[in-house]
Structure formats: C-alpha cells, structure tokens
Structure 1
C-alpha cells in the first residue's frame, strides 16, 4: 500500500493505493492513529484507488472509526465499487461513512 497525506483546514486527507489487507493493516493502523493524535482529528480516507480490502482491512477501518470518535473526530471514506461491495457484504456501509466522491466527503467534514 502506498499513499499521500495532506493536512487541510480542519481535516487530514489520505489518498491510498494498492491493497488494504493483513500484510498492510498493521502499518496502516499505526500510521493513521499517530496522525489522528497529531490532529486535526477529522480524517478523510480516499480509497477510490484501492484494489482490494480483506477482513483485516475492514477490521482496521472499524477500529479507526472508533478511534476517531473517541478522539472527538470523524472518519469519512471515499470508496470505489470494489470497496463498497466488500463493505456492503458485511453491512458496514453506514458505520464506515462511505462517500461516493471526495467532494462529498469534504462537504460532510466541513458541516461537522
């Protein structure tokens, strides 16, 4: 997994590519939790270029939602068809705040 990170007004934007799986999950979780602690606490994950998410990746996303909520922040996930389908299989689409576009995720963060 590769990606970029930007800090904007009241949120952090992560654009990720590759696989979110058991192999990448540990580094992914540790890095994001560190960035959340540094602030701002609102996070947008752009997963629109992610090729695959397995159960470890889904678990990491669930833990990140809980972590941001405990930190009084939020987590928005920009999805693609493959990620959305995987998330819907386990009925987590509302809990994970899936957004169809980056613009919609940004608008949602600005409202909070």
Structure 2
C-alpha cells in the first residue's frame, strides 16, 4: 500500500471483507488491485468497505470497475460500501448498480448473507 492508501483484509464466515482508508486515486489504484488480488478467493462473496476513503478519482473508479469485472467473470458476488463522498462520486458516473453500492457495512453484509 502507498502512504495515501492503507488496506486491510478479514476473512468472515460468509464473505471476504476488504477495508481501505485514505485516497483511492491514480497513485494508489495499482496497489489497491494488487492487494485485493493477493487476498481474494473467488469461492466467497467479496465486500469492499470504502467508508474511510477521503478521496476517490477516476483512476480509483477504474480500479473498482476492474474488480467488478473480475468478480463478474468468476460469478463471485460482491458489494461496495462507501461514505457520502464515495457514494456521490459513484452515482455521478452512474456506477452504483454495476458496483452493487450499499449504504453501510451492515446492509452490505446482510445483502451478502441473503
């Protein structure tokens, strides 16, 4: 991870939970992809928690789209959780359905369990 992006991973009983803080942008998009790829298993649903992201630009959105495409190709369920800033950016480019955007972590985990 870069100085601008920090990430973590938790194996939950029914999903893989990734959480990030900082900035998901042109300086950190590759590290984001590599971090997720190094921990991701297509066998379980994936939850990406971006509630502590301060900044998301087009490169960060591109990284999320690439992850979504990878999950779709593997028939892996996934959801993205964001704070108001992330949600606004995702909705601005109309990617909320493609990224399965959820309003909070509780709702995201519930949608994966259903």
Please, what TM-score do these two structures have when normalized by structure 1? 0.91
CA contact (8 A) 2:7 2:21 kept: yes
Structure 1 residue 39, shift from structure 2 partner: 4.7
Q: How many residues align?
A: 110
Matched, 1:27 2:44: no
Which residue of 6, 29, 52 maps to 1:49?
52
SS in 2 for 1:22: coil
What displacement does 1:11 show? 1.1
Identify which range, 67-76 or 12-21, moves more after superposition.
67-76
Instruction: Answer whether contact 2:42 2:74 (CA < 8 A) is retained.
Output: no
Q: Distance in 2 between matches of 1:97 and 1:39?
A: 17
Paired position in structure 2 for 1:18? 22
- Per-residue Cα deviation, 1:11-32 (whole angstroms, up to 9, x for no partner): 1111110000011100111221
RMSD over aligned CA atoms reads 1.2
CA contact (8 A) 1:77 1:96 kept: yes
Structure 1: which 5+ residue stretches go unaligned? none
Gaps of 5+ in 2: none
CA distance in 1, matches of 2:75, 2:100: 16
Q: TM-score, normalised by structure 2?
A: 0.90
Q: Which residue in the other structure is 2:103 paired with?
A: 100
Q: CA deviation at 1:40?
A: 3.9
Cα distance in structure 2, aligned partners of 1:33 and 1:3: 13
